[in-house]
Structure 1
């Protein structure tokens, strides 16, 4: 069936030659009044026209199309590609070739957009990394220079400066450790050793370990009603402890005085357990939520508050949970509080 929108080179050559041969043979018949010369001229023009048009298409049009395809592949043609050029490509219509080129252009636009996004992320990451290192390094430099410059400095002041220097050295050490850990997680070099344990016990133990920080703001921890019954999960206990402690520390940092932290544990199905840690603190702006698990990302509220940390905690949490083939999510409202939840595998018999 004739389809003008999907003509192969051979069909296009044939229909063009037919369009030439038919009127020429009719004219020949009108003048000669003999059908034999008309038929002969029809076939001569049909065959000659077909060969000529095919040659023109192959020589000037489809050769250029083959060059386009070679440019798309951006490589020296392999045997498979040579077979494609020789047998498959000639059967394609110009519309099909146009679709291939459009698809290639769209793919390249997506790649360019991804590269631009990665470049922006890299630039912002380096800027944040520089900032995180610069703050403690400059503080250490300032304290050391003050100590070196003062021969008669008071011992009490000297000790105070040394303690602050030690604090900033510890901050640098923690930052380097976090960087090393997140790099190992991203490379898949950290082994996950799973075993069954009660998640409620881990939550309580983790909070008790950092309760001194909570006492400074009189923040209380509790497990939500209906979630107290022991639920077993199957995961790397120490890695999950790291996640829980990080989330609890964030809840304390950004929690309000006399506030509370609550944990909820839910069976989503026979295979997964959902763990949620909620606070009633400052909350997070909606525009910041999509980036909250990025390395070094801080919200405007977080930057304005006097809180310390490497800025890698939530990124590490995300990598640990994903290393368990599970998911982590966040929901928050400014002035109301934040809830971060993650899933874990249910216990294995």
Structure 2
């Protein structure tokens, strides 16, 4: 393995001077009592002593530091040996200490990141297992009951087949959402950009969710009357999906006789920002950073009673990021939430 050193001569120079001076102090009596020894011999001895001391110390320090540090790297496995081969090793102990501390900090951060990701992976697998297990067991139980003899009763047969079908529909819903997220993450889902009126897209989302909002007596409203169209440049179908998901989410967790209000405002750099605001139960501060994780539920006990695949907000985040835009969340527990996202504005 080739050694590559970043030269630092401070330690060797100082040490060589100290050794030379000490040697001169010892040899001064010799030159005093031996007058036949000329001054240039004394000078030559000084230069020789200094040079030998400097080169020996410099070489030995380099070898000592390299071997000891390499041993530490290998034994502790703090730094990959490949990094050591490609990086110069300094004989400046202060610089070396800083470099080792920097590598150690980086490795600790990397380990913590891996631990967080592993915890997320375990939680994700547990969540998806639960989401798929519930409808699968439902379908299996109804079909088993029919096979065991309930098939002969026409009323029971139709009721159980209908429930089994709903379980299959839920499975398909979850799988489709997972497939969409996977495509958005890998970039294989192609976005069909076009110029469209965002006001019309919101009105379409209102119409799709009107019946669901009426069941909880939640009013779907604009903050003002938008007579003129507001043109944006994006994938209309995906934007409609993310608006629908956000409004649907506000209805699920909104309070009875509440409101979901939509506003559209000009934003910086030729952007518009769409805000979806409700006066529902709100979100606790500690949950906000995890809102867009797949299957993350705020209320673990009763959250599944509101339905859905648990992937709505995750899909919203991926659609927004696929457009190279941003999504924001503001919430105050007990007073409601506001989700907002940006889109590129266009002139029709």
TM norm structure 2:
0.87
Please state how far the C-alpha of 1:227 moved relative to its aligned partner.
5.2
Counterpart position of 2:293: 294
Counterpart position of 1:121: 120
Q: Pick the aligned partner of 2:59 from 55, 59, 65.
A: 55
Change (3 A) 1:325 1:45: same
Please list, as runs of the form range in 1=range in 2, the aligned pairs for 1:6-25 lying within 5 A after superposition: 9-25=8-24
Q: Secondary structure at the match of 1:185?
A: helix
For 2:83 and 2:229, how far apart are their aligned partners in 1?
A: 63
Change (3 A) 1:264 1:65: same
Please state how far the C-alpha of 1:9 moved relative to its aligned partner.
4.7
- Deviations, residues 252-310 of structure 1 (Å, cap 9, x unaligned): 22222222221010001351101011222222222211111111001117834621111
Counterpart position of 2:45: 41
Please state how far the C-alpha of 1:223 moved relative to its aligned partner.
0.6
For 1:225 and 1:9, how far apart are their aligned partners in 2?
A: 70
**Is 1:339 the equivalent of 2:346?**
no
Counterpart position of 1:267: 266
Please list, as runs of the form range in 1=range in 2, the aligned pairs for 1:1-349 lying within 5 A after superposition: 9-33=8-32, 34=35, 36=39, 38-65=42-69, 72-75=79-82, 81=86, 85=88, 89=89, 92-151=91-150, 154-225=153-224, 229-300=228-299, 303-304=302-303, 306-348=305-347
- Deviations, residues 39-66 of structure 1 (Å, cap 9, x unaligned): 3432332223223323322333334446
Q: Secondary structure at the match of 1:116?
A: helix
Please state how far the C-alpha of 1:228 moved relative to its aligned partner.
5.3
For 1:24 and 1:243, how far apart are their aligned partners in 2?
A: 82
For 2:334 and 2:28, how far apart are their aligned partners in 1?
A: 93
Change (3 A) 1:231 1:302: farther
Asked if the contact 1:219/1:257 (under 8 Å) is kept, the reply is: yes
Q: Gaps spanning 5+ residues in structure 2: where?
A: 1-5
Asked if the contact 1:218/1:258 (under 8 Å) is kept, the reply is: yes
For 2:220 and 2:247, how far apart are their aligned partners in 1?
A: 9
For 1:77 and 1:216, how far apart are their aligned partners in 2?
A: 66
For 2:225 and 2:211, how far apart are their aligned partners in 1?
A: 27
Q: Secondary structure at the match of 1:300?
A: coil
Number of aligned residue pairs:
335
Asked if the contact 1:200/1:228 (under 8 Å) is kept, the reply is: no
For 1:46 and 1:262, how far apart are their aligned partners in 2?
A: 83
Please state how far the C-alpha of 1:152 moved relative to its aligned partner.
6.9
For 1:282 and 1:42, how far apart are their aligned partners in 2?
A: 85
Please state how far the C-alpha of 1:124 moved relative to its aligned partner.
0.4
Change (3 A) 1:205 1:9: closer
Change (3 A) 1:61 1:122: same
Change (3 A) 1:283 1:23: closer
- Deviations, residues 88-117 of structure 1 (Å, cap 9, x unaligned): x45x51211221111111111111111111
For 2:268 and 2:139, how far apart are their aligned partners in 1?
A: 52
Q: Secondary structure at the match of 2:306?
A: coil
For 1:48 and 1:204, how far apart are their aligned partners in 2?
A: 87
For 2:244 and 2:233, how far apart are their aligned partners in 1?
A: 18
Q: Secondary structure at the match of 2:281?
A: coil
For 1:264 and 1:99, how far apart are their aligned partners in 2?
A: 52
Please state how far the C-alpha of 1:178 moved relative to its aligned partner.
0.5
Q: Secondary structure at the match of 2:268?
A: coil
For 1:56 and 1:16, how far apart are their aligned partners in 2?
A: 12
For 1:212 and 1:54, how far apart are their aligned partners in 2?
A: 83
